[in-house]
Structure 1
């Protein structure tokens, strides 16, 4: 367990890191104007790849510092990640179930992605565990630990921001982002307890992999049955 104590915060790096998902969301809305499905996928993946590389350049040292300890107990940590993933899906299902009565039918329908959008999500999801954990967990939460009332404030900020980061996934319907705000809060708790960003990355990767697998199968079946 790597206890970073009170971390020195770089305002410039923090601002740049926060701007990355904002720029990605803004550019992501423009990809809808691309007529080709392949073009949409290619441009979206490129946008997220550039964002990931920028974040790794800024905060790669955090991943490098935490990796030896995570690797030392790799199988134990991966086992924990599997259990946490199961728990996260349980939380996600419960929150969605609780919100379902408040969602109009149109909103429920809008959450059903097309096969192409699902494929886009599956490809970008392979990068999300790294970029999202760096921005939403480290930059917006963990580096603010041990700072009095600012720590719980940033806990809430990071959770809400993580949910809003899925704006394009749900067509701007904030109500549908609430479950991911809760998931974001759980991820922050995981980081707080483990004090190792790789535990979050591993758990996040497994969490997204389930959706990636389902999206790829959906994409394949769409063309097979066409």
Structure 2
């Protein structure tokens, strides 16, 4: 019995136990099994699951997008959904139930609490990255403090980008995968179109970059 178990363990380690193609099943049952595998994998994962990972558990000619569409259709009316975020898919509860969840179990892992100033700086980084702190300061007409940048970095929402080619080669800043997850975006292309927001009167680049906002004082221009 022990040699058989060891052999099975060895095959599992090589990925040999998982039948991806499921050719012995009729098409409808095969599709259902692929759907179950994908949903179970995404449900169990703490981070968004990407296309490459899901491709390892379904047939090589299987359309992951169509599988996701069918799963989401079955989730209609449920208090949670499967959404595209940060280059993968993740189970998320629907916003309508946020208050009930907080009342029952609390906030769990708290999102980074941001001030209005930090939100505006983060917005500028998202739209104009890679961008230096000096450039951010020029946008707002006042210095963006190291503490403000440090808070955004501490929350995992931004990270250091490539060095700027300007004198002194200061760091630039870019948004992170955690930023995408926090704001429910699949990619940066999902950010609202800036010109469309301006045309709709919902956002003004001039007001955003010159508003009277208390951003604090900086110390070192190379941060």
The structure having more radius of gyration, on CA atoms, is 2
Structure richer in strand, relative to its length: 2
TM surpasses 0.5: no
The structure with higher relative contact order (CA 8 Å, sep 6+) is 1
TM-score using structure 2 length: 0.24
Structure richer in helix, relative to its length: 1
